[in-house]
Amino acid sequence: MKYDYDLFVIGGGSGGVRAGRLAAEGGARVALAEEYRMGGTCVIRGCVPKKLMVFASGHSGALREAREYGWQIGEGRFDWQRFRRRLDAELDRLEGVYRANLGRAGVEIFDQRAVVAGPHEVVLADGRRFSAEYILVATGGTPFVPEVPGRELAWTSNDVFLMDALPRRVLVVGGGYIACEFACILHGLGVETAQYYRGAQVLRGFDDEARGHLAELLRDQGIDLHVGTDVERLERRDGGIRVKATDGREATFDAVIYATGRKPNTAGLGLEAAGVKLGRWGQVEVDAYSRSSVPSIYAVGDVTDRITLTPVAIREGAAFVETVFRGNPTKPEHDLVPSAVFTQPEYASVGMTEEEARDERPVEIYSAAFRPMQGAFVGRPGRVLFKLIVCAETRKVLGCHIIAPGAAEMIQMVAVAIRMGATKEDFDRTVAVHPTMAEEIVLMKTPVRRA
């Protein structure tokens, strides 16, 4: 059968764009449809604008610290509108780069919604139908807001980047990395910030010791963090949004931001009617090669709900092209993926948590918490944390967890060593770089506990 395209990609995020570009560069006839903006969650409403906001928010603490170091600096005032203009311009630039790269590769772009109409057919919002030998679903995720009275008054993380002005007082609902990051960002920009999370501790799924350490730091810097607390209802009152919590507390905020997770963006895509099996949360269920239950339909990125990180989606997209268009079956690797939570300070990790490791084998735990030189000199109380999980039998380092300024930059290098199978003795033999915080990684000689 003659198809209109060899590949039709639905979704213009990092995973879909990478797959479409690589396939086209290899000679495939490729089309891509995106209903919003090219770049997806990461570029438009996630990693990139968030990190720029992290940079902006960090300057408030840097200014305070500079005074303690002897700099004559007046009181600073953050200009959200000025920052927002530069942010919008940068996102426009990056979207242009994505489009240009696709265009150079020969990908045909449709700026509208596309849905699956069958194993080899897609339909655009304007009614046009196209056939394709393969369809790649890369529609990412969408914010999830639970059913609570007054939920229409709440923002999601998507809305934060579109604020016309900074709220004076804000509530962030959630305890995952997005919630913790936005609580730190808004607090750093001068917004009075509270955070409610229904669980016992923030950052579920991360290392327990690190979770507790970071929660303490969030409170120490002035974020009004309450765990074991959820929102019962929201209502417009007292010139703001009145929030009744499950623990009985009531407070009024100018804005309430729900960061309670994202769900796979599959609603209304026609996948189930085409025979594609979806999971409990709407995720496309795929095999190790990203193939769905329909042999001609694949999926990569957050829509599969495997590891919801941009670099993982990019790897999955590249592996899809290797498998389908280059005759080289390739499974994207999902183990030892480093990650970072861009709180202040950052929390970065790679490998296993202490809880995961001790359930599988005997382990030794090396951990150190201390006040770093830069902050201690001016009396800043925050403590950094460095932690290694080591297999007691093989001596291999199974996991590393760092809470410190620049932790994300450090973990990238540590991830290389751990992937290569470095042992604790390899770390011990490495000469420290002094004076740095990172030297602690190679200076922890005695385990704090064994399990």
Instruction: Give the Cα separation of 365 and 400 in Å (integer).
Output: 10
Residue with tokens 């599969």: 304
**Among 59, 226, 401, 434, which one carries the catalytic annotation?**
434
- Phi, then psi, of 332 in degrees rounded to 5: -65, 135
DSSP string, 195-216: EEESSSSSSTTS-HHHHHHHHH
386 Cβ neighbours under 8 A, 6+ residues apart: 367, 368, 369, 401, 402, 404, 437, 440, 441, 444
Residue 372: strand, helix, or coil: coil
- Phi, then psi, of 299 in degrees rounded to 5: -150, 140
- Phi, then psi, of 232 in degrees rounded to 5: -90, -40
- The answer to whether the beta carbons of residues 12 and 34 sit under 8 Å apart is yes
Instruction: Give the Cα separation of 406 and 348 in Å (integer).
Output: 9
As beta bridge partners, residue 389 has 365, 399
* CA-to-CA dists, residue 323 to 271, 317, 327, angstroms: 22, 10, 6
In single-letter form, the type of residue at position 165 comes to A
Burial of 165 (0-12, 13-18, 19+ CB in 10 A): exposed
Q: Give the dihedral sign, CA 106/111/112/113.
A: positive
As beta bridge partners, residue 449 has 365
Instruction: Give the Cα separation of 320 and 15 in Å (integer).
Output: 10
Q: Catalytic annotation on 120?
A: no
Residue 190: strand, helix, or coil: coil
Please give the DSSP secondary-structure letter assigned to residue 276.
Answer: -
Pairing of strands 262-264, 255-258: unpaired
Instruction: Give the Cα separation of 416 and 400 in Å (integer).
Output: 12
Instruction: Give the Cα separation of 318 and 310 in Å (integer).
Output: 13
Pairing of strands 224-227, 231-237: unpaired
Residue with tokens 């025979």: 275
- The answer to whether the beta carbons of residues 6 and 30 sit under 8 Å apart is yes
Instruction: Give the Cα separation of 251 and 231 in Å (integer).
Output: 11
Residue 180: strand, helix, or coil: helix
Catalytic residues: 434
